[in-house]
Homo-oligomer: A and B are copies of this chain.
């Protein structure tokens, strides 16, 4: 069984189903509420475990009830979160997420500003069985340490670049970075994602990609930018789909696949997630992804 060491944010999400997205200063009644674990690294970890990978997660929580709930939800999904910090007297990350009748979503997230940035409590080497590292942008020092551990032993180190990396060395320390369109635009200064990838590739040797949701994925190959289309599905809920993509991508690399195959596997997992409501509760199993890929041909 291949394993992935994940590092970054895990939250408790209060997902409110609303008829229409709120505007300024009014009162709204939600039709539905789901209280589910979330966060980039938390969601990616659950995706990896469901896809049959072993998954360790290092995240920063407080010693509050919210933190207990986050850990319990992860444990129920077979994610090993024992390496996580439980900071005393602080507050664990929570988010309010509004999803309207059209599936559009708005995310308001809170992370305690007093959460320690230092990563010196992380173990000095990766756990036995780790085949890849995945880090998000929500904890710069932690991501730099985890990607550095992967680099030292020659394992893939994937950065989920969903927003501008909080440390200037992160992109160069990672072996693979998959940006969001918005983050790539901000960093490269290029509106066109192809131009943005090409611009960044001049400065770093890192393998670079950008995920474009329903428009698929672009990645930088030796001879230029390559486009991999997304799978066409009936989208119900995109919440957590990007995190599922990154988890599946890192797991595929940990299993020794090449990037092109890893993109295909990750895109299938993310597409299946989009067909189901409930954020990461819609993350697919390995069997589901393989059946989906077999049918897609």
Q: A29-B109, A29-B111 given. 9 additional CB < 8 A pairs?
A: A16-B96, A22-B22, A22-B106, A27-B109, A28-B107, A30-B108, A33-B91, A65-B65, A96-B98
Query: Are B18 and A25 neighbours in the complex by a CB distance under 8 Å?
Result: no
User: Are A110 and B21 within 8 A (Cβ)?
Assistant: no
Q: Please measure, in the bound complex, the distance between the C-alpha atom of A108 and the C-alpha atom of B20, giving whole angstroms.
A: 11
Chain B nearest CB, measured from A140 CB (Å)? 15
Nearest-CB residue, chain B, relative to A98: B108
CB contacts (< 8 Å) of A104 on chain B: these are 24-25
> In whole angstroms, how far apart are the Cα atoms of A239 and B164 in the complex?
35
- B-contacting residues of A (Cβ < 8 Å)? 14, 16, 18, 21-30, 32-33, 35, 65, 91, 94, 96, 98, 104-111
B16 in contact with A106 (CB, 8 Å): no
Shortest distance from the beta carbon of A106 to any chain B beta carbon, whole Å: 5
Give CA–CA (A27, B180) in the complex, Å.
13
Highest count of chain B CB atoms <10 Å: which of A14, A21, A25, A110: A110
Give the residue among A24, A91, A109 with the most B Cβ atoms within 10 A.
A24
Chain B contacts of A33 at CB under 8 A? 91, 94, 110
* Complex: A276 Cα to B155 Cα, angstroms: 54
Q: Which residue of B lies closest to A27 (CB)?
A: B107
- Distance, CA A35 to CA B94, complexed state (A): 11
- Residues in B neighbouring A109, C-beta threshold 8 A: 27-30
